[in-house]
Amino acid sequence: MGKRTRRRSGGAPGQRAGSPEDARQDPGRLSAPVSVYRDPEVGELELRGALTLKARAEYTATLTGGGDRDDAWQRATELLFERLAVAWTIAGVRTERQRELLGRYRMASQPERRFVRESLRAHLAEYFPELEAP
């Protein structure tokens, strides 16, 4: 029996390994807390309360990287969003898949991007005070 088969077995048909349903079914499994940030005009953003040491280092390197400061700031903000976003609900449409979240962020309006930045700043202050906010 290969790794994939072992990982998939034991779950409900169609259920992905490592999904939130797994954490609810296995009380011993750790899961990161999720914080919800709301704006009546923009929607609701859910951010993960855990960030690996490697991701923290990558974020810091991106934020302080050479070249254009504004470009580094934009890339660092996108990197944080990519690593922390769990779901984003806009106009009643919920987006959860990582690729779709990143695509939605890239085509966001100025008010939506402002909301994301403010949410990320508040989230960093609460969960990752050692990191410089974008």
Give DSSP secondary structure letters for 73-98: HHHHHHHHHHHHEEEEEETTEEE-SH
State which H helix or E strand residue 66 sits in.
none
Average pLDDT over residues 35-61: 94
Instruction: Give me the architecture of the 32-127 domain, per CATH.
Output: 2-Layer Sandwich (3.30)
Higher-confidence position of 117 and 65:
117
* pLDDT class of 50 with cuts at 50, 70, 90: very high
Residue 2: predicted pLDDT: 57
Residue 35 in this model has a pLDDT that exceeds 90? yes
